[in-house]
Each structure stands twice: as structure tokens, then as C-alpha cells.
Structure 1
């Protein structure tokens, strides 16, 4: 059963979702931006220990609370880890007032029909059972659209909704994330096709169920307003998708009712070598800027 207090916060509260879910492929880049070079760790275990330390530093920072950060997406190893001896999800909710989510996808397949579907998720049911036992509220899974190909986009949305139903079956809230690559020439067309496909799949979903959506910031402001207003959608959140934080915030503020779920734009400016005072001040300013861009109109 979904935690009703968490659900109320996710549905109604001003704020944004922090994406702290860099996986094996993106961790070296995230660490490098944080000032930890690849020669600072000898193997995957040391690499994941370094990224866990970075995430723990963010989570424990004074500004990182449910006052402005209403949710956080975790990588599986972060969920399985602890902060000050407390399981990460429990630390987030009980000590920071932040709703915990879990990234569940296993990466992307090669491009076909202009899209990259998600790789098969062997053991997903077992992972979802574990997540529920660890007081995780919901999940996130990403696939990528690289062209305005109707068949490809339909395939991506169908896969997301199919696995979303599986996640709902475990009492968890799925964040469906069909990311549109912000660098493609036909981005606006791809977004029109994506919106139409999502609305069709919502119409086919069982009555009384809600999902969340994580979408690229659209070329046309308020394109996704029908989804924001749809009672079958708990929340629409936006990824930064490669935009700088300033650009992402500017675009986000033109989309009524959409809130941020930024990863790289959240950690921009943070460095391993900063004093705690500098680190905390930088993060607080970042959180304030993303919160303001996410506030309901």
C-alpha cells in the first residue's frame, strides 16, 4: 500500500524532486564534475563508495529538506546503503521529510525506429518487493526518443506503461520517463507525438490509478498542461536533460504546474574540495533557484 502521507506531499506540495540516481555508466562523469578524478578510485566498489559519500553529503546538508525538496530518486546501491547507520530511504523520509524513489531501469537498448527502449529488467519483481520493504514510495525508469518517429514513440510509451502497471501492482508509484533528446532537430514534432501517445495510454489504463511523468522541457511552453491537469497523473516533473541550471530553470518557469527533477543541474557548482560551509551555501542557493522555478503559478 502506498504511504498516504508521502502521496499527499508528492501530489500537492510546492517543491521539486532531486535526482540522485546516477548509475554505473554515468557515475564517473558525475564524480569528475564533483572534482573526483577517475584515478581516485581503483574499482567499481571504490567508485560507488565515492558517489555514495557525495550523495550522503548532499542529503545531510541543512538546505536539503522537505521544505523545498519534496522527493529524491535513488540508485539501487544508494537504497541499499545507509546514512549515519540509518537505511537511506528511512533517513530521507524520517529525518529530512523527503519522499524516496528508486531508479529501476537497467539502461538502454541500441537505437531502433529513432528511440532507445529500456533493456530487459530481469528480477524486477524481486527488486520492487525489496523497495517496498525499504519504504520506497515510487520508482523511475528512463528511455530516450531521438527522432519524431511515430512507431518508435508508440513503442517507447507502450513499454513504459506496461512496466508501470507492473510497478503499480507492487503498491509503488511509477515515474514514467520517455526523455526527448534536447539536441534533435525535430524535437517539437517528437513532443507532439509523445503527448498524443501518453494520452492514448492513459485512456486505456485501469480507472482509479495514477502515475507520474518525467519529461524533457518542451519546445512549446505548456505543451504538457493537459497532463498536468489530468487526474490520472499525480505530478509532471521535468528533467534538465543537458541544459545548464539557469536555462533549465528559465524553461521550467514557463511551464505551469511542472516541477523539476534535476540531476546534473542540481549538483552543478558542488565540489569534493569545498569546505562544508561553501558546499552547503552553494547547494542552498541551487535549491532555492530550482524551488522558485518549480513553484505553482
Structure 2
């Protein structure tokens, strides 16, 4: 049996290799367009197209070597063992590479979003094959491995156009709480950066060590500069409004009691307490509900006169 390689074998091998390269180029181009149309242009479409093109070329190279009489079995075994060792040695890089594909496919954030990743807050500048680049609020650049990003909690601060923040303020124990609440409402109305819809809410949070706590829940634009500016304006407005009504903003202090009780903040004992709450109570609804909720003792009936 003659095992010599003829000229036709070489021509056939070259044709197979050339066809595989052409097919790889065409498939990569079509696949890149398809992925970009599905999930948008980005690193994922480039990477997936290149991986498929490499696979097509490797298959063509396998048949090319077989045509010229090269035994590819031992070669494939050596390549597989070498690939396993290389994958174990570059486990971190492989993890980040796979993470970049997941980020591009699922798109929990895009370039330009303000996010919190692995304890760092900043604007997404770039997503490459290994890291995600953030520009922090202080102007520094932070690179976080994509594997860490995928494994950690992702907080997208600017995914929605608006979001809610809270401002806590404490008043002295001898404060008229209804007056304090009305004063805080007027302070909120003086801050243009606080959105009217959804409306802000004011909750009495409880009795603290040196104060009675109020929590203002307000809505504003979702970007961080708007958040900081809105909080600053609201803090100034609350301080001015409480000062104008002579309401003391409480601070840690020690009170020495002489044993004689002084007058309280209320002239007469207050009635039932049910302040209107946005989204829960309609005007006049609470009173009607209380009048209709009278209980009768069992076993007794009202007789007609």
C-alpha cells in the first residue's frame, strides 16, 4: 500500500483549509449581526462571533491534517490535556472572561449608568473582556473583575428616572407633633427638587433617647448629583422651618428633673389619633369608618319603644 502524499492530496488539503477560513469569516459576520440585533452591539457579539469562527477553523484544520496523513488523535489528546492545565492556571481570567459575556448578554447595566458594584459607586465607563471600569464620584477610576461583578449584588441607581430617599430629624419631647408635622410639610413644599408625584410622606418613627423621630420620605431625580443637591436643600428648608416655629431640633442631652411636672405641649387632652396618610386614607374616610365600626354586646337586642 502506497502511503505517499500526492499533489492532489495537498491541493485537497489546501482547499479544505481555505474553505474553512472563508466559512468561518462569513459565519462570524452573520452571527455578530444576529447577536447585536438581539442584545445590542457590544463585547458579547464580538466574542461569540470570534469563538464560533475559531471552532470552524479548527474543524477545517482537523480535516486538512487528516487529508495529508497526519494522525490527529494523539495531537488532540495533548491539546486537551494542555488546555485543561491552562484553564486551571488561568482560572481567574477565564472566570472574568465568562463574566463579561454574561454581563453583555443579560445587561444589568450599560455604559453611562450609575451603579454600586462590590461596595464601589460610580458611573460605568467601559466593559471589556476582563474588568468593568467605573468612574467613582470622586473622579478616580475603579476596575472590578467581571467575575466579581457577576457574583456580587448589582445596584443600578439610575435604571429608573426617579428614586426615593429618606431624611431623619428629631424634635424635643415637649413638641406639638401635629405642628411639627405641618411645619415639615411646608418645608418640603419649598424645595423645587423634591418631586410632587409621587408625594413625599412624613412618618413618626418613635421615641429615641433624646428626641421623637420623624422620617421624611421624598422622591427626586435618580442621579447622584440630584440626590445630594435635593438632600442639601431639604435639610436647609427643614432647619429654617423648624426654627421659624421655635421647634427644637433635639440633640443628646441630660435632663435633671426636680420632681415637679410642668405643663405639657397640649392645652386639652387630644382625641383619637389618625393622621391622613397618602395612598391609604381619603379625606373624611377615617371618621366614617370609625362611626360605622361600633360593636354590640352579644345576646342583647335593641327593643322598639
- Given the two structures, how large is their TM-score scaled by the length of structure 2? 0.17
Higher relative contact order (Cα pairs below 8 Å, separated by 6+ residues):
1
Structure whose CA Rg is larger: 2
